[in-house]
Structure 1
């Protein structure tokens, strides 16, 4: 049974919904959430359906369930703020873009953080080769019990943090650092969602901050650059040169907080200026 580890930090009328990645936990968004809150924003870290529990909990859900978690949280949050922003890490970035596609009137800006449409980073050659087969295997019912296990560097350039995360995953507490691997069928769901979101990226009219590690071990620069090429809204890059995939907690987390706060502040000012007079 999944434990609820969402967080909420009340602030001003600018709200930021933060979305974790596949097999992850809201904890990976907490530093960003607290940092934005220290700059005045109201922040909430949503917990995706099926996460922070067992592998079976996760396998009982699919990408439409994960997206429903995001849309429900956004609907609740927008009732209490004047400006709503959404930011996600890894698969969370893909879900954030999906919300901007499906509900463009809700979203004033998107934080596309370490976007992962495909696992093509330098540490994952085997997964990259097999990924296209996963939806087929899932449809045939093959590999339900199989997982791609996490391996060093676990998306982290910071060695001390890497050791702590490794110990947390080994402890079996999925609320602290997520599951120790990615089930094949869950990865298949990610790839099915990625296709849908890529197809509809032109529907994203909100401004996008695209933050990505230049040496991302999980998702190559292609993922970030592809988003910038296809969204309709303006986009800005924030390239991080001293981090790996988990940019919300790695060495440049403070730079990410500052860049995201600045971007959303400017987006809120632009949205307020364009709003019709009461």
Structure 2
């Protein structure tokens, strides 16, 4: 049961009259402990351009933080894959977009299905961390249920992403060990064009993720954009309009 109305998934049909007669789909994924609330403005902006959009609620999110400890990478990826399959069935081409964990998940899709992902847009994606305490997660997850929240890293005042007040450790372990580690090994399988947005000041994801992704993927087109006025949740921050506009132009180009 959802406890935040803003956590509702978002779905919009294609409007080929706005996209040169072609039906273009876009899959959008939110981040760890967050919900569609952090991505809805972006999803709505893409829908207004005529793209079919699917923004699912990842399992364990949008309810209580305790629920997130009951699921993990496999369930999140399955939910995202189902939304991607829906878009593939209904549209001529599909691009994928993700924030943080959502970025890692759509990169996983691009690695697994390179011939089906027309383009990838990521905002502060996480595939690695230098935090020392993470090394203890294999044991710590059985002793401690959660750490303090990593939510609302937003520079713009008065904005709330409605994320969980705590970071569930079993879920974090699943993300980092079952998700990130295999993904890093498979990044070379990604050939889709990539548009990478990176906040200059990000207090959640460190610089190592960008470096690893940039040197590992096989994409011939890799465009990096720096966001000077936003923190981690840049999709709700001062540079949000830049993300919305440039991602729409990128998607139109790679699906043309």
Q: By the TM > 0.5 criterion, same fold?
A: yes
In the alignment, what sits opposite 2:174? 189
What is residue 37 of structure 1 aligned with on the other side?
Answer: 47
Alignment deviations for residues 114-143 of structure 1 (CA, whole Å, 9 cap, x no partner): 1112355xxxxxxx22012213433xx222
What SS does structure 1 have at the residue aligned with 2:25? strand
Q: Which residue of 2 aligns with 1:235?
A: 222
Counterpart of 2:135 in structure 1 is 132
SS of 2:90's equivalent in the other structure is: coil
- State the Cα deviation string for residues 169-220 of structure 1 (Å, max 9, x = none): xxxxxxx712112111111111111111111000111111111101112112
Cα distance, 1:241 vs. partner? 0.6
Asked if residue 219 in structure 1 is aligned to residue 205 in structure 2, the reply is yes
Deviation string, structure 1 residues 232-261 (Cα, Å, up to 9, x no partner):
112111111110001111001000011101
Query: What pairs with 1:80-159 in structure 2 (closer than 5 Å)?
Result: 80-119=90-129, 128-138=131-141, 141-143=142-144, 145-150=145-150, 154-159=152-157
Give the 5 Å matches for 1:54-65: 54-65=64-75
Deviation at 1:5, TM superposition (A): 1.0
Q: How far apart are the structure 1 equivalents of 2:129 and 2:182?
A: 16
Give the distance between the partners of 1:268 and 1:41, measured in 2 at CA.
11
- C-alpha separation between the residues in 1 aligned to 2:148 and 2:9? 26
Please give the secondary structure, in 1, of the residue aligned with 2:153: coil
Indicate the SS of the match to 1:96.
helix
1:8 match: secondary structure: strand
Contact 1:2 1:57 in 2 (8 A): no
Gaps of 5+ in 2: 17-22
The 8 Å contact of residues 103 and 126 in structure 2, kept in 1 or not, is answered as: yes
Structure 1 unaligned spans of 5+: 121-127, 166-175, 270-278
Q: CA RMSD in A?
A: 1.7
Distance 1:40 1:118, change over 3 A: same
**CA–CA distance in structure 2, aligned partners of residues 222 and 119 of structure 1:** 7
Give aligned pairs, total: 244
Deviations 1:62-84 (A, max 9, x none): 11111111111111111111111
Shift of 1:113: 1.1
8 Å contact 2:129–2:209 — kept in the other structure? no
TM-score (norm 2): 0.90
1:30, 1:228 → 2: CA distance?
27
The answer on whether the counterparts of 2:146 and 2:166 sit within 8 Å (CA) in structure 1 is no
* In 2: Cα distance, 1:18 partner to 1:156 partner: 20
